[in-house]
Amino acid sequence: MMTLDAIAERVREGRRLGREEALILSRNAPTPLLGELAEMVRARKHPDPVVTYIIDRNVNYTNVCVAKCNFCAFYRPVGSSEGYVLGFDDLFRKIDETIAVGGVQLLLQGGHNPDLPLSWYEDLFRAIKMRYPAFKLHALSPPEIIHLSRLSQLPVEQVLDRLIAAGLDSVPGGGAEILVDRVRKLLHCYGKATSDEWLDVMRRAHCAGLRTTATMMYGTVETDEERIEHLLRLRDLQDETGGFTAFITWSYQPSHTELGGVEATGIDYLRTLALARLVFDNVDNLQASWVTQGGKVGQLSLAYGANDMGSVMIEENVVRAAGASYCMDEVEIVRNIEDAGFIAKRRNMHYEILGDPIFCQRDVPRMLELATARGNGETSTPNELRLYPARSRTGKASRLQDGMSELQDGGIAGWQDLKD
Ligand code: SF4
């Protein structure tokens, strides 16, 4: 067995870590050593003392989901009185608010709703691009794309092509959880996407010219070996395509979930982040997950391999449903970056620097509370939904009730008519 000293030396020499070495580090390395090595790798990859962040808005367009992952507190089953779908106008308003604080992108993800066909997504993307041509759509994680492929009975490549033609700019790395099928079966997320299926969507997205991120949710039922297997599978795909811009890891949030359990500690988070920095010699950027860890651990992440503070979170629904609700607007993010000794710069999804903080240049409204998908007590159904065929029994019944069932797949013209 290799000694810790020999493995640390290997990292210092810039050589790639193998499975066995990563496992020894994860089990036996003292936390300060992991931090020191990860910081060294971060500084090698990012010699300028700059830490980046993006201003975007994390919007969940629907919480209705047939996947029913047992670690998820966010979803509602089809027919639930708490289920929602956001209307196009709701989304336009959210984009207006995002642009007002200097935002450049929507991170758009949601449940696997059988009553939203592919044409709904295409019309939405086109409508957004028509109104906001420069605004970016970082949208639909691999399991959502697989869901649309099954729903429309079209191959994943074709779904991707249609979404790209409608305005999809990049794909978020959600839904990866742990890319080991034993774990996925235990988390009831094997059906939404197997490990191979998740990786294959990313491969196809990269081949179609899109950049994507990669993620890991740890702290459920996986072993140390399975966490490392996850990192290695992502590293292999990155060797093949080079399409991942960044890696983000966060801990499972157990409150209000079927799976239950306890949350991993902040130390486990920092160790996991540092290990990822050491394994990913081919991924440039690691984000700090302050949304699950809070601002202080988020700031400490910058000493454990992270070079990016992720998103100025204007809105968040998924992690909040599971009990965590940290809020940092641009002023707070920048303060955390500067207090850690770095220079804060805004970026886009491609990690191109956009400039200094917006609030240094002009007045922007402070956002001291996270917005939610819908206001309290809001239950209305968006008008344009009637234009799209539903698949579920309850969805069909409610659209029949609206008296518009004869309208099939209305397209953007239909939506605009309805709106006008
Ligand atoms: S994690 Fe995503 S796919 Fe799984 S139940 Fe929640 S919303 Fe659905």
Is residue 404 scored above 60 in pLDDT? no
Token reading at 272: 């996991």
Question: Whole-model pTM?
Answer: 0.93
Establish whether residue 143 lines the binding site of ligand 1, counting it when its CB lies within 6 angstroms of any ligand atom.
yes
216 within 8 A of 183, measured Cβ to Cβ: no
286 within 8 A of 264, measured Cβ to Cβ: no
What is the rounded average pLDDT of the residues 196-200?
A: 98
Lowest model confidence (mean pLDDT) among 94-108, 225-239, 368-382, 400-414: 400-414
Tell which one of 60, 62, 63, 74 to mutate to probe ligand 1, the residue whose CB is within 8 A of the most ligand atoms: 74
Establish whether residue 346 lines the binding site of ligand 1, counting it when its CB lies within 6 angstroms of any ligand atom.
no
pLDDT at residue 399 in the model: 82
pLDDT at residue 320 in the model: 65
pLDDT at residue 37 in the model: 98
* C-alpha torsion 380→383→385→388, nearest 10: 160
pLDDT at residue 410 in the model: 45
Closest C-alpha to ligand 1, atom 3 = 67
pLDDT at residue 329 in the model: 86
72 CA to centre of ligand 1 in angstroms: 6
Sign of torsion over alpha carbons 89, 95, 100, 101: positive
Strand, coil or helix: what is 171?
Answer: strand
What does R_g of the chain's alpha carbons equal in angstroms?
21
Q: Cα 28 from chain centroid?
A: 30
Lowest model confidence (mean pLDDT) among 268-272, 346-350, 373-377: 373-377
Establish whether residue 65 lines the binding site of ligand 1, counting it when its CB lies within 6 angstroms of any ligand atom.
yes
pLDDT at residue 226 in the model: 98
Q: Which ligand 1 atom lies nearest to the CA of residue 74?
A: 6
Contacts of 205 (CB under 8 A, 6+ apart): 142, 145, 160, 171, 212, 243
pLDDT at residue 407 in the model: 47
Query: What are the beta bridge partners of residue 347?
Result: 353
Establish whether residue 192 lines the binding site of ligand 1, counting it when its CB lies within 6 angstroms of any ligand atom.
yes
DSSP assignment, residue 264?
P
Closest C-alpha to ligand 1, atom 1 = 72
152 CA to centre of ligand 1 in angstroms: 19
Establish whether residue 217 lines the binding site of ligand 1, counting it when its CB lies within 6 angstroms of any ligand atom.
no
pLDDT digits (tens, 9 = 90+) for 329-370: 899 999 999 999 999 999 999 999 999 999 988 888 777 777
Closest C-alpha to ligand 1, atom 2 = 111
pLDDT digits (tens, 9 = 90+) for 217-252: 999 999 999 999 999 999 999 999 999 999 999 999
Nearest to 308 by CA among 267, 365, 349, 279: 349
